[in-house]
Chain A
Amino acid sequence: MDIIALLGDFTVRSVALGAALVGLVAGALGSFALLRRQSLLGDTLSHAALPGIALGFLVSGSRSLTPILAGALISGALAALLVLLLTRTTRIKDDAALGVSLSLFFAVGTVLLTYAQRQVGAAQAGLDAFLFGQAAAVLPADLTLIGGVGVAALLALALLWKEFKAVTFDADFARSLGLPVLALEALLTLLIAVAVVIGLQLVGVILMVALIVAPAAAARQWTRRLEGMVALAAAFGALAGVAGALVSASARGLATGPVIVLAASALVLASLIAAPERGLAWQAARSWARRRALGSHRVLVDLLRLGQDHRDPAYASEQGMLDTYFGGPTGHVLRRLRRRGLVERVEHMPEEGAHWVLTPAGRSQARELQAPFGGRPERDEGATR
């Protein structure tokens, strides 16, 4: 099925919209998780949602999304509390506490899920869709719930923007301003949990962390402002969500979660490579340019030194001499320097090869290059030759 036909389908269109919103919320709140170094908390929150999902189904006895998501949020919050308790009262550090809490809750969730699936109607309920995500299992009523909760979370983020920013950047200072730091941090964690929970049906508990981390990590590469980072992460998240929903809808039975995660990871990879300043390609290009400049710098400085040795600033150096000194042809470097107006070619003796002199601009640049090493020629002589 091609994309245009897919978009014409009402169900597909609404699922794509839901996925876009899930990605939007996850990207925006994931930025805060990333900056607070809480990315892995997202993983614990999503895995720990599983027992809540199973219990929500068992208690309500129906597939209705509201009790399931409520259960997921509660068990996720309990897991986060366990992490806090472990790090505060024992010598266990963050990473180990996250691991302990994640595996404990996920194990309980798996047991409960197995039990729930033996109940009548559980097979139709499609509870296992919550493991890897299944866009096709999302009902219109579910989308209303996901949308409502997602918009509420974004609204809270917008309202408390400057408070969240202050607490994330400098908690002690925020405290000195009189902000209730602990409450704000708890609320931020709760909002991140909400972002995780509303994505569970589409992305699944196992891979949901990617939608929290990946768009934020990709966005971090491109921007120097928090506003820009959050907006871009939201856009990346939405893009990954829509891509995942559409691909999964066109290929029957393909789980949505992995496709969304693949799309988000592609965005991360592209950002790591291509982003200005922080990107690998950018850095490689800059280092290549520097390497190229190194040759020019050496030739410039040596032309200056030759002039100083001969007590003649306008001393014309023969190209063959420079070639011998560098142990290779210098013609291409000299031509590049001439294009930049730093050296000039002069005719010295008709029977000899090309000669080169520094232009005034070249001389001042050569002096600048020499300056960090003392600049004075008599010191240079002893130091480098």
Chain B
Amino acid sequence: MTVVAGVHEPALALHVEDLTASYAHQAVLWDVDLNVPPGVLAAIVGPNGAGKSTLLRCIIGALRPNAGHVYVHGRPYREQRRRVAYVPQRTSVDWDFPTTALDVVTMGLYGRLGWFRRPRRTEADEALEALAMVGMDAFADRQIAQLSGGQQQRVFLARALVQDADLYLMDEPFAGVDATTERAIVDLLKDLRARGKTVVAVHHDLQTVATYFDWLALLNVRVIAQGPVTEVYTAENLRAAYGPRVVLLGATEGAPAAAAASPAGGPPAEEARTPVA
């Protein structure tokens, strides 16, 4: 590992190394090395209890890992917070909280505002713009409890968009949304990629992972495999992550698990853009 004046792995949008975390002495994440090049849509996929959400929560500092470090675009996460937007699981908050959609999106600007300063007209305009990007501007003044699950998810995405980050960390953005919303969210993610942003999303659906994402990390407490989805989405790797009984659709049977446990570094961004079927 080379550390030159605080710069480490500058070619990667997200670099996680040796990350180990535990709940009550039970390892939830063990020696996780995760490398995501810039400009990709990356999925973190794995069975229940694989530590996917825990990994994201460790990256953003909501949980303190036992060991390991997180670098974003070559610098420690702590210094790069403004370049990272986090979208938690929709069910992690109380949607009966007395507030409006616009107000929730405005919270995305609290980091930029800094201590004590109140959001003003400009902030409200920016938040409204972000709501428009997810097709929710008509619901700006709606009490959040009155929104459907898909609409709530879009409000959360708008809150991340308004942060204008370079790296987006999303915890199950497709959970509990209908097909129309799922389509809209996929379009949004592809739009982010087209603008050179990087998205790392916890994903649950093996059927869609190869069509929605172009980069894949298979996680089950440890990283089973990571790399371009075309190389990593193989029957062998999926069995290694999920066990022998996983139902496989479209995975290349018997393909070499070339990218399995890929060493730190990962291929450059051009390779990551490999078009997917």
Contact = CB atoms under 8 A, between A and B. Distances in A.
Interface in B37-88: 57, 60-62, 81, 84-86, 88
Contacts of B119: 162
A163 B98 contact: no
A159 B116 CA distance: 6
Contacts of B81: 176-178
Interface stretch (B1-9, B105-113, B262-270): B105-113
Interface string A160-182: 11110110111111111111010
B98 A170 contact: no
Given A176-B84, A178-B81, A169 B57 contact: no
B276 to A, nearest CB: 29
Contacts of A225: 98-100, 103
* Chain A interface category by residue count: 20 to 34
Contacts of B86: 172-173, 176
Main DSSP-derived SS at the A contact region? helix
A174 B111 CA distance: 9
A172 B58 CA distance: 10
Contacts of B138: none
Contacts of A295: none
B93 interface: yes
B26 interface: no
| Chain B interface main SS type | mixed
B122 to A, nearest CB: 15
Contacts, number: 75
B88 A172 contact: yes
Contacts of B100: 224-225
A14 interface: no
Contact of A169 (B84, B99, B116): B99
A159 B81 CA distance: 23
Contacts of B11: none
Contact of B60 (A166, A172, A224): A172
B98 A173 contact: no
B92 interface: yes
A178 B111 contact: yes
B107 A170 contact: yes
Contact of B97 (A35, A159, A160, A174): A35
Contacts of A160: 116
A170 B110 contact: no
A245 interface: no
Contacts of A35: 94, 97-98
A363 interface: no
Given A166-B107, A177-B81, A172 B92 contact: yes
15 contacts: A160-B116, A161-B118, A162-B113, A162-B119, A163-B110, A169-B99, A170-B92, A170-B107, A172-B57, A173-B86, A175-B61, A176-B84, A176-B169, A226-B99, A229-B98
Instruction: Return the 8 tightest CB-CB contacts between A and B, nearest first.
Output: A176-B86, A177-B111, A176-B60, A224-B143, A175-B62, A172-B62, A178-B81, A170-B93
Given A170-B93, A226-B97, 9 more contacts: A163-B115, A168-B97, A169-B97, A172-B86, A172-B88, A173-B159, A176-B60, A176-B169, A224-B100
Interface of B: 57, 60-62, 81, 84-86, 88, 92-94, 97-100, 103-104, 107, 110-111, 113, 115-116, 118-119, 143, 159, 169
